[in-house]
Structure 1
Amino acid sequence: MKKIAIGVRDLPVRTKQPNQIDIEVGSRIRLQRHLKGISQVAFGEALGVTFQQVQKYEKGTNRVSASRLSDVARILGQPVSYFFGNEQGQHNVDQETGDVAQFVGSGEGLALNRYYTRITDARVRRKFLALVTTLADADLADSK
Structure 2
Amino acid sequence: MPVKRNNFKTQDIERHVGQRIRERRTMLGLTQQQLAELIGVTYQQAHKYERGINRVSAGRLYELATVLGVDVNFFFAGLNETGEGESFSARQRMCLDLARNFAKIDDERQQDAIAQLARVLAREHHGDE
Bin the TM-score by the shorter chain: 0.5 to 0.7
Specify the alignment match of 1:108 in structure 2: 94
Shift in CA distance, 52/136, structure 1 to aligned 2, threshold 3 Å: farther
1:67 to 28, 37, 59: 59
Quick check: which one's strand share is greater?
1
Task: State yes or no: 1:139 paired with 2:125.
Answer: yes
How many corresponding residue pairs? 114
Task: State yes or no: 1:80 paired with 2:72.
Answer: yes
1:129 to 91, 115, 128: 115
Task: State yes or no: 1:55 paired with 2:25.
Answer: no
Larger Rg computed on CA atoms: 1
**TM-score of the pair, normalised by structure 1:** 0.60
Work out which structure has the larger RCO, using CA pairs closer than 8 Å and 6 or more positions apart in sequence: 2
RMSD between aligned residues: 3.1
**TM-score of the pair, normalised by structure 2:** 0.65
CA drift of 1:141 comes to: 0.8
CA drift of 1:115 comes to: 3.6
| Identity rate, percent | 37
CA drift of 1:23 comes to: 0.6
What per-residue deviation string (whole Å, max 9, x for no partner) do you get for residues 5-53 of structure 1? xxxxxxxxxxxxx911111111122233334444433322210023343
Specify the alignment match of 2:33 in structure 1: 41
Where does the alignment leave 5 or more consecutive residues of structure 2 unmatched? 1-9, 82-87
C-alpha distance in structure 1 between counterparts of 2:22 and 2:53, whole Å:
13
What per-residue deviation string (whole Å, max 9, x for no partner) do you get for residues 61-88 of structure 1? 2221222112112223333343234886
Where does the alignment leave 5 or more consecutive residues of structure 1 unmatched? 1-17, 90-101
